[in-house]
Structure 1
Amino acid sequence: MEYISNTHFNIFHQHGTNKSGGVCVAIRKYLKGSRIDLNIENTIIIDVDGLSETVRMIAIYRPAGQARVLEELESYITKNTIITGDFNASVKEWGSTSADKRGRILKEWVGKNNLCYIPSLSNSSKRSNRNIDLTFTNLGGTKGETLKMGTSDH
């Protein structure tokens, strides 16, 4: 686990099982981020202070071949939580052209935990019509945006 600082953002990084490096959360310098200790691979949790209320950010990478148990995240969901990441799960109602088993399991888990899907402005995958980078929250009025930049496949 490492903390990286640049001119405008504090970046919290967790090495992962993927060859490209893991997961990260970047927050503006004027906000304070506190890492939550946990032992869940491909996952990082940061509590962000400096807004009207603390916001918990959970970033995950869920490799296509990994049978990840989503329930292990439930004890970390608090009021004002945003969960985002590469879920490698397709749900038609969430912007993919079709649904898969992982998507159906994820959609059920999201509903069970009183989270809402935050739509993005476009699909995240550059290689297919799947929308696999997904964001969920229990915060009202939250909007998402997909940035097309970098060398990632999504």
Structure 2
Amino acid sequence: MNQFNMYKYNELQQQLNNGAAGLNETTIRAGYQIIEDWCWTYSRTELFNRWKQPHQKPDQTDYKLTILHYNIRNFYTNQCDLLEMIEKYKPAVISLNELSKQIPTEAIAKILFSYEVFKAEGTNTHGGAVIAIDKQLKPISVDCQQQPNIIAAAILVNNKSYNIISTYSSPTEKLPLPILSNVLQNSQANIVLGDFNAKNTTWGCTQTNQKGRELESWLKLNKLNIHNPAMITSLRSKTTIDLVISTVQEASVQCNQLPYNGSDHFPILAEFNDIILKHQQQYIQKINWNLYTIMLSILSSEIEYIAHESNMQPHEWFQMFQDFLSALRIRSTTWHPAKKTSAFAYRSHQNDD
């Protein structure tokens, strides 16, 4: 049965305290833990093997699908607000409407560099639709017959395919319901976001227009739910014309209006609580060289004492010391999330002219 040598622990801890000048609290606490490991009566071989296991690597956690929908009105004018929202809320999917003037997909992709960008042109100077999806989700394009103002992509989550569609319908144009219906047939799970300019008292508007009646009938036919009823999305009309729609149960989706008014539409952040994504965070190892150095100075004499007491041959001592150095280096290593370059590192210098 392994025992703990309290006398040795106090002795080594005092050595660490004596040499702790300039060390931060994290390093000192880690030193205490290494000394505690050392003072158990495991064989040194067993101890070194334990130290060589990846130490304190964070568990990969799951997270919910979040989607940011924003009628941005003018991409270049309001891109700073967009980037701030991405930095703060870290949506897996972004839906944009009304980009204003023709903007190359490559220009958008350069700014949203960690997203796969899919874009449809508009029918007027204020139109267009974009779907941008985190590249780690490996999205694929969905055929929308190259129609303007509607774009779609698909992702696979837990072996289930989800179509994600962004569409813009100007007040003077008909809703693209035939194309939407065709896209819906590709998957049993669909999420539709967009500025429909469709008003209906059913989703909290003060009046119902023709587009609202048509959309209501289409939603019932396709068994779709609106997740942001009575949420004011238009600053001009004070009504609900930007909609988050899906085949997902209403109670499992939470939508919030975000406090940005650079555009004349409020952004919407939708959280799909039942669509769970696997966390793809990458971690890198960093060696705490201050910890390694002080523990090497404290424990080297312990290694020499063991070699002397065990009558080790020189090659045996050398092998043990090599194992000790390798194990201590790993034990002095911590894991840190690999940081992506902040979206704020890039700013377009193009002017809206």
Q: Work out whether the TM-score is over 0.5.
A: yes
Answering whether residue 259 of structure 2 is matched by residue 152 of structure 1, we say no
Deviation at 1:63, TM superposition (A): 0.8
Answering whether residue 9 of structure 2 is matched by residue 9 of structure 1, we say no
Amino acid corresponding to residue 17 of structure 1 in structure 2:
T
- Of structures 1 and 2, the larger Rg is shown by 2
Deviation at 1:151, TM superposition (A): 2.8
Aligned partners of 1:67, 1:127: CA distance in 2, in Å?
A: 21
Answering whether residue 173 of structure 2 is matched by residue 66 of structure 1, we say yes
Q: Who is 1:28 aligned against?
A: 134
| 88 and 62 in structure 1: CA distance in 2 versus 1, 3 angstrom threshold | same
| 125 and 134 in structure 1: CA distance in 2 versus 1, 3 angstrom threshold | same
Question: Which stretches in structure 1 are left out of the alignment for 5+ residues?
Answer: none
Tell me the secondary structure at the aligned position of residue 25 of structure 1: strand
Tell me the secondary structure at the aligned position of residue 136 of structure 2: coil
Answering whether residue 198 of structure 2 is matched by residue 89 of structure 1, we say yes
Aligned partners of 1:149, 1:29: CA distance in 2, in Å?
A: 26
Report percent identity of matched pairs: 28
> C-alpha deviations, 1:110-154, integer Å up to 9, x for none?
101111111268311011221100121112323333334363211
Tell me the secondary structure at the aligned position of residue 143 of structure 1: strand
Residue 203 of structure 2 contacts residue 230 of structure 2 at CA under 8 Å; is this kept in 1?
A: no
Q: Who is 1:102 aligned against?
A: 211
> C-alpha deviations, 1:94-116, integer Å up to 9, x for none?
12222212111111111011111
> C-alpha deviations, 1:23-45, integer Å up to 9, x for none?
11122232111112322221001
| 121 and 64 in structure 1: CA distance in 2 versus 1, 3 angstrom threshold | closer
Using CA pairs below 8 Å that are at least 6 residues apart, which structure has the higher relative contact order? 2
State the TM-score, normalizing by the size of structure 1. Answer: 0.86
Tell me the secondary structure at the aligned position of residue 154 of structure 2: strand
Residue 204 of structure 2 contacts residue 230 of structure 2 at CA under 8 Å; is this kept in 1?
A: no
State the TM-score, normalizing by the size of structure 2. Answer: 0.40
| 121 and 104 in structure 1: CA distance in 2 versus 1, 3 angstrom threshold | closer
Aligned partners of 1:28, 1:147: CA distance in 2, in Å?
A: 21
Q: Who is 1:41 aligned against?
A: 148
Q: Which shows bigger deviation, 111-120 or 13-22?
A: 13-22
Aligned partners of 2:263, 2:124: CA distance in 1, in Å?
A: 13
| 117 and 43 in structure 1: CA distance in 2 versus 1, 3 angstrom threshold | same
| 136 and 87 in structure 1: CA distance in 2 versus 1, 3 angstrom threshold | same
Residue 14 of structure 1 contacts residue 22 of structure 1 at CA under 8 Å; is this kept in 2?
A: yes
Q: Which shows bigger deviation, 80-89 or 92-101?
A: 92-101
Aligned partners of 2:155, 2:176: CA distance in 1, in Å?
A: 25
Tell me the secondary structure at the aligned position of residue 54 of structure 1: strand
> C-alpha deviations, 1:32-73, integer Å up to 9, x for none?
111123222210011023x22221011111111112341232
**Higher strand proportion:** 1
Answering whether residue 124 of structure 2 is matched by residue 18 of structure 1, we say yes
Tell me the secondary structure at the aligned position of residue 139 of structure 1: coil
Q: Who is 2:220 aligned against?
A: 111
